[in-house]
Amino acid sequence: MNVTELARKLRITPAKLRDIMPKLGFDIGLRAIKVDPTMAQAILEKLSDPKIRQKYLTDDVVEKPKKSVGEAKQAESKKEGNKVIQISERIVVNELSKRMGMPVTNLILELIKNGVMASLNQDIDFETASIIAEDLGFKVEKSEERAGAAHNIDYGKLLQVDKKNAVPRPPVVVVMGHVDHGKTKLLDAIRQTNIMEGEAGGITQHIGAYQVEKGGRLLTFIDTPGHEAFSAMRSRGAQVADIAILIVAADDGVQPQTIEAVAHIRQAGLPFIVAINKIDKPGVNIDKVKSDLANIGLAAEDWGGKTICVAISAKQNLHIDELLETLFLVADMESDKIVADEKSLAVGTIIESHIDKGEGPVATVLIHNGILKKGEIVKIGGQANKIRAMKNWKGEAVDKAMPSMPVKILGLKNVPLVGEILQVLADRKKIRKLFKNRKELSRLVEQHQAIKTEESEGDEEKKERPQVNLILKADVFGSIEAIIESLEKINQTRVEVVIIKQGLGNIIEKDVEQAVISKAYLLGFNVKITAEAKRQALEKNIEIQLFNVIYDLLLFVEEEIKQVAGVEMVEKTLGKLKVLKIFSTGKNWQIVGGRVESGKIMSDLMAKIYRGNELIEQAQVVSLEAGKEVVKEAVVGQECGVKIKGIVEIKGGDDIEVIKIEEK
């Protein structure tokens, strides 16, 4: 979990969170951007205690971050005035700055410091806005003002279809489910192409959208690498999909990500079909899967419930036609909602974005309303762009995109965020204004990056733990998100993994320069290295590693962590034996009888002898006997004879703990 995200949940600033965590017994480092999920949950639980929250979240305990003289005066004046501002569910950065009476550039810098990259014309959610405002001395109230009002944009209105102009459009289907349950293989079977073999390691590396034709009717499919992107699309006001397919493997049943997918589908209010995949595998029990589904509230139709289930094999292409027919049946039942107004200005959602070597920043947009045409001026996230060219999912050039059609658009100045709304502009004044302000955010980001570099150089001596510094470059945002999420799961407390910089596109000289300054590894995912960057890396002795499978990248990072952390010898208690009788004693050895009270006892391991709570001596378990036979181990409840080697005199009633030494 991001430190910023955790701070939002606690309704404090990231700087304040980093300050109090050592006081609570949690040490993640001053520059960490990620928190282990287990640690994050522990922090949330600890700060849910009112006494602890009052103790550590009061101004006299938490040291406030240093402000410039101007910022300090501004914050103090707001505090003295006790000014209350109202913020809606979402608010434009420029509008928020006006309500707080501060320059928009200062507000953007505050957002950047908290890990939020937003230009003056972009909107941010209530939680982010309220945390920033409260940190600057304002009291915040949530207003019922509609989202996007200050932007003069009503997303609901943009997506609304005039009944007079409503025409049917192809249904948009999202495929969701647990990893390895066959999402990509299902799409492969539907399209009768082989997308999966083109993916390195058979893993979906980023978001894709595809159209297929069946019986003269079109279906649009969205394939996602995770549910975060799907949530991001919905959070920005777009109902991207019309129908969901929940895929469940017949040989694996309901898994954690299955339950998570169900939650996302229900939250989106989507009708859905359960596809029970891999029925070709021997020994699978479809009824067992349906039983698991019933346990999470999804009773199948043939079990008296309302959940439509279709048993398929994507690998063997079994019952795929039946699944498509069922999709069309569900679409027909929702036909009044699956419509578009082709006469309105085009509106769509960005479902994938990246930097292409030859084409520059590109994005895949799914059109909801209207018809997007080549050459039109569009607004994406507060920036104006001219559509220079469009390609369909097959890579063929097209001049227009109809509703429910995914197209790749070229001519963008920057890489848009997944989930951003694309809107065709007709007002020339607005277009000129957007083009004028498009460079402001990138200037501020560069300014902030320079400050961060200076701070990191000054903090070099303050590190409490060794670090593995990384600079990540990848082909698409989805890849960056997947890598960072996976890095979070590397449970390592002795070494801090710090992502110094992340970005899209090939590795260039600037990345090498940054790696030199921060002493970081340069990792590329599905990207290349420019010749100049390669030459510079050799000169500066900077290691660059390229990967096309996430698992390989993680393995490399884990190995580097081991190198930095070194090897730690850890004692692991395997079991405890209560001594009942002493059989014989010799020079430096004893044979005793006893009962195993916990775990298991094994030979050729170290033993600790306790008398009450006092450690008497350490010795060695030489051999075990049970029922007059030599055995390798004795388990709980079993009585056995144990030969102990060591300078020790064991007595009846003593406890023998068997210890195994492991490398960590």
The residue that leads in pLDDT, 56 or 456, is 56
Answer yes or no: is pLDDT of 20 > 70. yes
Q: Residue 637 has which token pair?
A: 């409840």
The residue that leads in pLDDT, 616 or 41, is 616
Q: Kindly write down the DSSP assignment for every residue of 500-515, as one continuous string.
A: EEEEES-B-HHHHHHH
Helices 509-518 and 440-458: angle between axes, nearest 10 degrees: 30
Q: Are 1 and 14 in contact (CB under 8 A)?
A: no
pLDDT of 544-577, one tens digit each?
Answer: 999 988 778 888 888 888 777 666 677 888 999 9
pLDDT of 190-214, one tens digit each?
Answer: 876 434 444 444 444 444 678 888 8
- CB atoms closer than 10 angstroms to residue 560: 18
3-class SS at 112? helix
Q: What does the alpha-carbon distance between residue 105 and residue 110 come to, in Å, rounded to a whole number? A: 9
Q: What does the alpha-carbon distance between residue 277 and residue 282 come to, in Å, rounded to a whole number? A: 13
Handedness of CA 622, 625, 630, 634 (dihedral sign): negative
Please tell me the number of Cα atoms within 13 Å of 272 on its side-chain side: 26
Q: Residue 622 has which token pair?
A: 């030489």
| Residue whose pair of structure tokens reads 């959602």 in the numeric block | 349
Query: Quick one: three-class SS letters along 198-249?
Result: HCHHHCCCCCEEEEEEECCEEEEEEECCCHHHHHHHHHCCCCCCCEEEEEEE
Answer yes or no: is pLDDT of 376 > 60. yes
pLDDT of 72-85, one tens digit each?
Answer: 444 444 444 458 88
Answer yes or no: is pLDDT of 536 > 70. yes
Answer yes or no: is pLDDT of 64 > 50. no
Cα–Cα distances in Å, from 637 out to 423, 581, 640, 659?
A: 72, 16, 10, 19
Amino acid, res. 47: L
The residue that leads in pLDDT, 154 or 106, is 106
Q: Are 472 and 523 in contact (CB under 8 A)?
A: yes
Binding site for GTP: residue ranges?
Answer: 177-184, 223-227, 277-280
Phi-psi region of 259 (alpha: psi -120 to 50; beta: other; left: phi over 0): alpha
The residue that leads in pLDDT, 381 or 252, is 252
From the list 456, 418, 392, 359, the residue with the least C-alpha distance to 31 is 456
How large a percentage of the chain has pLDDT more than 70?
74
pLDDT of 608-629, one tens digit each?
Answer: 999 988 888 888 899 999 888 8
Q: What does the alpha-carbon distance between residue 437 and residue 416 come to, in Å, rounded to a whole number? A: 16
3-class SS at 208? strand
Is residue 206 exposed (0-12), middle (13-18) or buried (19+ Cβ within 10 Å)?
Answer: buried
Answer yes or no: is pLDDT of 183 > 70. yes
Where would I find the H helices in 519-611?
A: 531-540, 550-565
Where would I find the H helices in 160-225?
A: 183-191, 195-198
At 560 the pLDDT is: 84
Between the ranges 74-78, 84-88, 380-384, where is the mean pLDDT highest? 84-88
Q: Residue 8 has which token pair?
A: 């939002």
Q: What is the rounded average pLDDT of the residues 208-234?
A: 70
Helices 440-458 and 104-113: angle between axes, nearest 10 degrees: 50
- As a residue count, the chain comes to 664
- CB atoms closer than 10 angstroms to residue 506: 15
Q: Residue 73 has which token pair?
A: 């005066």
Binding site: residue ranges?
Answer: 177-184, 223-227, 277-280
Average pLDDT, the chain: 77
pLDDT of 318-340, one tens digit each?
Answer: 999 999 999 999 999 999 889 99
Handedness of CA 637, 643, 648, 652 (dihedral sign): positive
pLDDT of 457-507, one tens digit each?
Answer: 444 444 456 788 889 888 776 677 678 777 876 756 667 788 888 877 788
| Residue whose pair of structure tokens reads 């029970």 in the numeric block | 276
Cα pseudo-dihedral 408, 409, 413, 419, rounded to 10: -60
User: Which of the 8 DSSP states describes residue 253?
Assistant: -
- CB atoms closer than 10 angstroms to residue 597: 13
Ordered by where they begin, the domains of the chain are 170-337 (3.40.50.300), 341-438 (2.40.30.10), 442-565 (3.40.50.10050), 569-663 (2.40.30.10)
pTM over 0.75: no
How large a percentage of the chain has pLDDT more than 90?
21
Helix (H) or strand (E) holding 430: helix 428-437
Q: Are 190 and 140 in contact (CB under 8 A)?
A: no
Amino acid, res. 461: E
Q: Exposed e or buried b for every residue in 134-164, given b needs 16+ CB within 10 A?
A: ebbbbebeeeeeebbbbbebebeebbebeee
At 312 the pLDDT is: 93
At 187 the pLDDT is: 81
At 237 the pLDDT is: 43
Cα–Cα distances in Å, from 104 out to 96, 114, 189?
A: 8, 15, 51
Query: Quick one: three-class SS letters along 588-634?
Result: CEEEEEEEEEEEEEECCEEEEEEECCEEEEEEEEEEEEECCEEECEE
Contacts of 16 (CB under 8 A, 6+ apart): 7, 57, 62, 64, 65, 135
Cα pseudo-dihedral 561, 565, 569, 571, rounded to 10: -70
The residue that leads in pLDDT, 180 or 337, is 337
Q: Are 617 and 571 in contact (CB under 8 A)?
A: no
Answer yes or no: is pLDDT of 403 > 90. yes
At 326 the pLDDT is: 94
Answer yes or no: is pLDDT of 423 > 70. yes
Cα–Cα distances in Å, from 357 out to 198, 204, 360, 504, 530?
A: 19, 21, 6, 11, 11
Between the ranges 155-159, 273-277, 347-351, 356-360, where is the mean pLDDT highest? 273-277
Widest distance between CA atoms in the chain: 101
The confidence band for 377, taking pLDDT boundaries of 50, 70 and 90, is: confident
From the list 462, 327, 342, 352, the residue with the least C-alpha distance to 401 is 342
At 171 the pLDDT is: 94
Answer yes or no: is pLDDT of 446 > 80. no
Answer yes or no: is pLDDT of 449 > 70. no
Answer yes or no: is pLDDT of 154 > 80. no
Q: Are 404 and 169 in contact (CB under 8 A)?
A: yes
pLDDT of 516-532, one tens digit each?
Answer: 888 888 999 888 898 88
Angle, CA of 103, 137 and 119, to the nearest 5°? 35
The gap between the terminal CA atoms of the chain, to the nearest Å, is 25
